[in-house]
Amino acid sequence: VPPEVLREAVEAGLTCFGENRVQEGKLKVGMLPPRCEWHFIGALQTNKVKDAVEFFSWIHSVDRVALVEELDKRTRARGKRVRVLIEVNVGGEASKSGAAPEEVADLALKANGCEMLEVVGLMTVAPFREEVEEVRPFFRQLRELRDACERETGLALPELSMGMSGDFEVAVEEGATMVRIGTALFGGRV
pLDDT average, residue stretch 95-117? 96
Say what the alpha-carbon torsion angle 182, 44, 150, 69 is, to the nearest 10 degrees: -160
Q: Which pTM does this prediction carry? A: 0.94
More confident residue, 63 or 130: 63
What is the residue-averaged pLDDT of the chain? 95
pLDDT > 90? residue 105: yes
Distance CA 1, CA 125 (A): 20
Residues 126/162, Cβ–Cβ less than 8 Å: yes
**What is the Rg, in whole angstroms, of the alpha carbon atoms belonging to the chain?**
16
The pLDDT confidence band at residue 184, using thresholds 50, 70 and 90, is very high
- 190 three-state secondary structure: coil
Give yes or no for residue 130 having a pLDDT over 90: no
CA atoms of 144 and 58, how far apart (whole Å): 23
Mean pLDDT value of segment 28-48: 95
Q: For residue 190, what pLDDT band results from cuts at 50, 70 and 90?
A: low
Residue 30 has pLDDT above 70, yes or no: yes
Residue 78 zone, left/alpha/beta (φ > 0; ψ -120 to 50; rest):
alpha
- pLDDT(40) > 90: yes
The 10s digit of each residue's pLDDT in 133-160 is 999 999 999 999 999 999 999 999 999 9
Confidence band, pLDDT 50/70/90 cuts, at residue 18 = very high
Digit-coded pLDDT (tens) for 46-89: 999 999 999 999 999 999 999 999 999 999 999 999 999 999 99
